[in-house]
């Protein structure tokens, strides 16, 4: 099973063990941006379409 | 009244009332029940005058500064 | 879509052609150009959302999950925990080139859904085509689940259950007013004096709350007695405020972390990396602590707006950005020179763009009534300081310049004009108007300060802090002066007053008895009988709406709760009461009077042609009205053209205006708000004149059911002000703009050709002087030619950036319905 911690988009928070942010670049029809969503490092990422192994 | 586009004939009130072109003139906008065209209607004469497309409406005449801003520029 | 300007044309050529939207594109920085074009426009086009706009299900789901989880908590605490859960877990983003961050949805193209506001609105969300995120079936299922949960327990559901049933049915008929009696959909004033003048960050406020809690807790372990009983509720409220303020600090630090992550891991451009680190530093500082520079100050303000909108669907944006952020501009640009004017202009322009992109899901009536925008974001500029000196500063000028570069239709500005405003500032106002923005609206500051003192007893210094609470109404930004909740449901469709007076209180459009039975108008012998019937209908209609709103506000702390807004308010921080509680609020209510002038022109027409000239009988008139004037065209034109009309300096009709206003003002003092203050009227329309076109029946002023109503306030009927601008001003000047009502909207169209160049400015300046001398409180201008507007109708893509003033707001011309477009073109262009 892949976990979020193994993904290139995962950034661990220094002050919160086990907790991190999934940071991804998105380009929509009007603008480009980076988005961030909280995830835990041991989250199951096997179903994630955006998963990219580090 | 006869539609200027499709020649459909019926009483004025059977052409769907949309709204006035300006309140102080007898011109209104009505929609032909057959071809759906928007028509400028002379309510006094009970006659459809012309088809009305966006930007060609017969309103916008300035009442305040006739001559200077008849078609306000 | 934004069409590209002709690249081979110079700025001068484009200015000569008055194609200001292309001028803006050529003049603004690359950053502003990108950010302006990157916005997903949330304002409904006519009444429908633009392709690509999606309902924000993430925030609605996060909120509901936590709301369900904490079901045994008091409402303030429960809401605070749900809001904190949203702020901690929703997706956030930073757009390329941006320097300010924060959006209340989870993605740039989403519209926030106030899922706990009203079941009626939730049902509309389910049925609205095109706004469900993909996959649509899954989204629909999710929305259905959320709707099932909230059905019957939203804020408005709770108010509706306790309203008088007859009031509820008549209010919900949609014929006499609109809105929702809950702060879930209100206009919330902000206590800017506490936050910005007081230089407080959230940590400072939390410290003050902790001190209040400590003091209160001492009492709860003291001598038992009735005076300590309500302290238990207040302690819960204080805890809720702290909880949500802390969540706000954490939310900002999520942005700081994202910006730092981007700078350290992704960004290759050195300049952008520095900008990202600056964003990180800014979001680590604010809102936790008071701002130190312009970027932090603007960012702090924006966070406050985002959090308030995460808590409630705020329909307005009361703000005075030049006044509260001006000292930071001065420090950065003039003293420390850490920012150039151009860099500051970029920040100011982006600050406007960040507000422009905010949009929540609104029911169809609201979308039709506010075509092209998502709420009335009218920011206040200019005015005076508390000591009466000129408050305009360099940031006032920067906002007016930035507006011409970014050309957003929301926010707009209302400018507090007073005799000490410098010429250089007035010129900037005029340039915005000349560039066709439709704003700033001009407000007569000395007069409105006097008005605020007259109606609501605001002390002079407090009155001088006023901002536009929505489109028009002034409200102070102080501890006792700020009004935390004003609901649109005290918005009266006033044309119904004369309609019901003519039809014995019966509404032929909705098919029910609405108003009191004031007699068969066919049997009225003189004008006085008709007028007295009108007075009774006016009293009934305004009283019903005010009763509804008063009840909504009184019960709001029990039915909804505003922990964040409370934490922003000195009154609540001190007392531990929900800010919506009327305790300690001076009261600043008003009844928005839509479709007002139809009453005046209709009453005058009946007086003249039926009772004075005896050309027609009341029976004939009533028959014509019931037939919607069909078959009575000659008679209808008589009622339009041969009866006096408001706006022509004709005492015959102007005296009727004054009688109607003074009867209403008398009743305004009878009706009281929960704080015990009066309910003056404020005639204005937004685009309610189009929304109500098919709801108001035929009237003696010559309109048919279906025709757009007049464009509002005390503006004369389109094309009926035939004696020029001076006559309009003279008519309006007969009104006492202090004691006859709260404020009076006046739309005027001016000729861009006539007002070109320096001569044009001098003409306009003289007009403003006359306007002030005659004692009017408001005027706003459209200065776009018929030729341009018609061309925009034919070729909307080419003219997608043309802005017009609709009523109390501006909109891109191509975003409003054909009927509204035509109504704007119908307005008289005045030569001055």
Residues C467 and C321: beta-carbon distance below 8 Å: no
Q: How many CB atoms lie within 10 A of CB C670?
A: 12
Alpha-carbon gap, residue C103 to C121, rounded angstroms: 22
Is residue B67 situated within a structural domain? Answer: no
Give tens-digit pLDDT for C516-546.
999 999 999 999 999 999 999 999 999 999 9
Average pLDDT over residues C274-279: 98
Residues C744 and C762 in one domain: no
Alpha-carbon gap, residue C732 to C744, rounded angstroms: 9
Is residue B63 situated within a structural domain? Answer: no
Average pLDDT over residues C332-340: 98
* Phi, psi (deg, nearest 5) at residue C626: -65, -30
Residue with tokens 């600043």: C588
Beta strand spans in C426-535 (E): 441-444, 467-468, 474-475, 486-487, 491-493, 506-507, 512-513
Smallest CA-to-CA distance from C311 within C25, C127, C59, C50 is with C59
Cβ–Cβ contact C136 with B under 8 A: no
Neighbouring-strand partners of residue B9: B2
Residues C827 and C438: beta-carbon distance below 8 Å: no
Is residue B36 situated within a structural domain? Answer: yes
% of chain C beyond a pLDDT of 70: 99
H-helix or E-strand containing C538?
helix C527-559
Mean pLDDT lowest for which of C284-298, C302-316, C438-452, C816-830?
Answer: C816-830
Q: Is the pLDDT of residue C451 over 80?
A: yes
The winner for highest mean pLDDT among C19-23, C48-52, C274-278, C745-749 is C274-278
Burial class (CB in 10 A: 0-12, 13-18, 19+), C610: buried
Residues C674 and C764 in one domain: no
Question: Which residue of chain B has the CA closest to C789?
Answer: B55
Is residue C398 situated within a structural domain? Answer: yes
Alpha helices for C576-670 (secondary structure H): 597-606, 618-626, 633-641, 651-670
Give tens-digit pLDDT for C666-684.
999 999 999 999 999 999 9
Is residue C644 situated within a structural domain? Answer: yes
Average pLDDT, chain B: 75
Residues C777 and C826 in one domain: yes
Contact B13 C630 (CB under 8 A): yes
Residues C665 and C711 in one domain: yes
Give tens-digit pLDDT for C52-86.
999 999 999 999 999 999 999 999 999 999 999 99
Is residue B69 situated within a structural domain? Answer: no
Average pLDDT over residues C156-177: 92
Is residue B20 situated within a structural domain? Answer: yes
Alpha-carbon gap, residue C467 to C18, rounded angstroms: 32
Contact A33 C266 (CB under 8 A): no
Question: Which residue of chain B has the CA closest to C792?
Answer: B55
Contacts with C33 (C-beta within 8 Å, 6 or more apart), sequence order: C25
Beta strand spans in C161-221 (E): 177-178, 186-187
Give C90 to chain A, closest Cα distance, Å. Answer: 7
Rounded to two decimals, the pTM is: 0.95
Sign of CA dihedral C194, C197, C201, C203: negative
CATH number at residue C468: 3.20.70.20
Average pLDDT, chain C: 94
Residues C237 and C578: beta-carbon distance below 8 Å: yes
Write out the residue range of the structural domain in which residue B24 sits.
Answer: 1-55
Structural tokens at position C456: 């609501």
Alpha-carbon gap, residue C435 to C429, rounded angstroms: 10
Touching B: C residues 754-813, CB under 8 Å: 754, 785-787, 789-795
Tell me the residues of B at the C interface, defined by beta carbons under 8 Å apart: 12-13, 17-24, 26, 28, 43-44, 53-57, 59-65, 68-69, 71-73
Q: Is the ipTM value over 0.95, yes or no?
A: yes
Write out the residue range of the structural domain in which residue C522 sits.
Answer: 487-554+587-748
Mean pLDDT lowest for which of B41-55, C217-231, C612-626, C759-773?
Answer: B41-55
Question: Is-cis flag, bond preceding C440, omega within 30?
Answer: yes
Question: Which residue of chain C has the CA closest to A8?
Answer: C265
Is residue B72 situated within a structural domain? Answer: no
Contact A30 C254 (CB under 8 A): no
Beta strand spans in C124-237 (E): 177-178, 186-187
* Phi, psi (deg, nearest 5) at residue C823: -65, -35
Is residue C85 situated within a structural domain? Answer: no
Q: What is the DSSP string of C131-147?
A: -SPSSHHHHHHHHHHHH
Q: Best residue in A15, A34, A35 to probe C by mutation, most C CBs within 10 Å?
A: A34
% of chain C beyond a pLDDT of 90: 84
Smallest CA-to-CA distance from B10 within B35, B22, C330, B27 is with B35
* Phi, psi (deg, nearest 5) at residue C346: -60, -45
Residues C458 and C476: beta-carbon distance below 8 Å: yes
A·C CB contacts under 8 A: 64
Give tens-digit pLDDT for C601-633.
999 999 999 999 999 999 999 999 999 999 999
How many structural domains is chain B composed of? Answer: 1
Query: Distances from the Cα of C492 to the Cαs of B57, C182, C697, in angstroms?
Result: 32, 17, 16
How many structural domains is chain C composed of? Answer: 2
Tell which of C748, C783, C814 closes a domain: C748
């Amino acid at each position: 099973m892949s976990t979020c911690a193994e993904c290139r988009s995962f950034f661990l928070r220094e002050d919160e063990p086990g907790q991190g942010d999934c940071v991804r670049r998105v380009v929509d029809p009007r603008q480009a941006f980076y988005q961030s969503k909280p995830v835990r490092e041991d989250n199951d990422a096997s179903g994630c379409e955006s998963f990219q192994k580090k | 009244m006869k539609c200027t586009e499709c020649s459909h004939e019926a009483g004025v009130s059977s052409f769907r009332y949309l709204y006035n072109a300006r309140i102080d003139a007898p011109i209104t906008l009505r929609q032909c029940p057959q071809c759906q065209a928007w028509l400028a209607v002379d309510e006094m004469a009970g006659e459809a005058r012309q088809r009305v497309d966006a930007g060609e409406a017969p309103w916008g005449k300035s009442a305040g500064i006739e001559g200077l801003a008849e078609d306000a520029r | 879509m934004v069409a590209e300007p002709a690249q081979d044309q110079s700025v001068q050529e484009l200015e000569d052609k008055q194609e200001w939207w292309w001028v803006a594109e050529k003049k603004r920085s690359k950053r502003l150009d990108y950010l302006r074009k990157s916005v997903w426009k949330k304002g409904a086009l006519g009444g429908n959302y633009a392709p690509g706009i999606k309902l924000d299900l993430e925030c609605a789901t996060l909120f509901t999950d936590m709301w369900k989880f904490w079901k045994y908590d008091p409402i303030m605490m429960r809401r605070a925990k749900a809001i904190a859960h949203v702020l901690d877990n929703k997706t956030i983003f930073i757009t390329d080139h941006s320097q300010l961050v924060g959006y209340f949805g989870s993605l740039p193209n989403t519209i926030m859904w106030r899922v706990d506001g009203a079941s009626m609105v939730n049902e509309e969300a389910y049925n609205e085509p095109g706004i469900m995120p993909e996959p649509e079936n899954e989204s629909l299922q999710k929305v259905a689940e959320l709707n099932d949960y909230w059905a019957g327990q939203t804020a408005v559901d709770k108010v509706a259950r306790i309203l008088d049933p007859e009031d509820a049915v008549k209010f919900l008929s949609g014929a006499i007013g609109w809105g929702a009696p809950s702060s879930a959909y209100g206009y919330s004033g902000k206590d800017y004096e506490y936050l910005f003048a007081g230089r407080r960050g959230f940590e400072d406020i939390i410290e003050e709350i902790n001190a209040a809690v400590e003091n209160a807790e001492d009492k709860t372990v003291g001598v038992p007695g009735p005076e300590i009983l309500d302290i238990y509720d207040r302690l819960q409220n204080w805890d809720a405020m702290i909880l949500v303020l802390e969540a706000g600090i954490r939310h900002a630090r999520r942005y700081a972390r994202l910006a730092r992550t981007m700078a350290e891991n992704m960004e290759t451009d050195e300049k952008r990396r520095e900008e990202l680190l600056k964003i990180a530093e800014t979001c680590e500082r604010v809102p936790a602590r008071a701002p130190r520079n312009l970027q932090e100050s603007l960012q702090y303000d924006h966070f406050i707006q985002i959090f308030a909108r995460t808590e409630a669907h705020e329909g307005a944006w009361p703000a005075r950005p030049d006044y509260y952020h001006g000292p930071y501009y001065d420090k950065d640009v003039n003293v420390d020179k850490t920012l150039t004017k151009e860099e500051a202009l970029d920040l100011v322009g982006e600050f406007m763009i960040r507000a422009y992109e905010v949009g929540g899901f609104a029911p169809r009536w609201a979308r039709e009534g506010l075509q092209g925008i998502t709420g009335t974001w009218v920011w206040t500029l200019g005015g005076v300081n508390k000591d009466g000196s000129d408050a305009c500063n360099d940031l006032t000028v920067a906002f007016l310049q930035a507006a011409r570069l970014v050309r957003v239709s929301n926010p707009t500005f209302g400018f507090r004009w007073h005799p000490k405003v410098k010429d250089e500032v007035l010129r900037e106002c005029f340039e915005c108007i000349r560039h066709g923005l439709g704003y700033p609206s001009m407000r007569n500051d000395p007069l409105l300060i006097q008005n605020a003192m007259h109606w609501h007893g605001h002390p002079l210094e407090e009155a001088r802090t006023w901002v536009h609470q929505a489109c028009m109404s002034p409200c102070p930004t102080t501890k006792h002066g700020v009004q935390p909740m004003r609901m649109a449901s005290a918005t009266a469709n006033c044309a119904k007053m004369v309609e019901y007076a003519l039809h014995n209180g019966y509404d032929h459009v909705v098919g029910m008895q609405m108003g009191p039975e004031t007699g068969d108008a066919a049997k009225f012998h003189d004008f006085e009988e008709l007028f007295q019937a009108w007075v009774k209908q006016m009293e009934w209609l305004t009283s019903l709406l005010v009763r509804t709103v008063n009840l909504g506000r009184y019960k709001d702390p029990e039915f909804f709760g505003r922990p964040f807004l409370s934490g922003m308010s000195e009154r609540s921080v001190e007392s531990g009461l929900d800010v919506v509680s009327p305790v300690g609020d001076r009261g600043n209510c008003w009844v928005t009077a839509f479709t007002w002038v139809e009453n005046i022109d209709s009453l005058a027409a009946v007086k003249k042609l039926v009772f004075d000239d005896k050309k027609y009988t009341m029976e004939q008139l009533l028959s014509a009205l019931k037939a919607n004037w069909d078959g009575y065209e000659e008679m209808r034109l008589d009622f339009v053209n041969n009866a006096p009309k408001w706006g022509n300096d004709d005492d015959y009709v102007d005296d009727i205006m004054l009688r109607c206003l003074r009867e209403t003002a008398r009743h305004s003092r009878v009706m009281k708000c929960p704080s015990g203050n009066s309910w003056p009227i404020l005639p204005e329309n937004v685009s309610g004149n189009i929304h109500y076109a098919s709801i108001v029946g035929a009237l003696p002023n010559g309109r048919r059911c279906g025709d757009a109503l007049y464009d509002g306030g005390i503006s004369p009927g389109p094309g009926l002000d035939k004696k020029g601008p001076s006559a309009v001003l003279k008519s309006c000047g007969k009104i006492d703009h202090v004691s006859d009502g709260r404020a009076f909207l006046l739309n005027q169209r001016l000729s861009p050709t006539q007002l070109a160049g320096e001569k044009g400015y001098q003409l306009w300046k003289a007009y403003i002087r006359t306007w002030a001398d005659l004692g009017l409180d408001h005027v706003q201008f459209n200065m776009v030619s018929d030729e341009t507007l018609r061309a925009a109708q034919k070729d909307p893509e080419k003219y997608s950036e043309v802005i017009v003033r609709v009523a109390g707001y501006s909109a891109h011309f191509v975003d409003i319905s054909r009927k509204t477009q035509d109504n704007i073109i119908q307005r008289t262009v005045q030569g001055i």
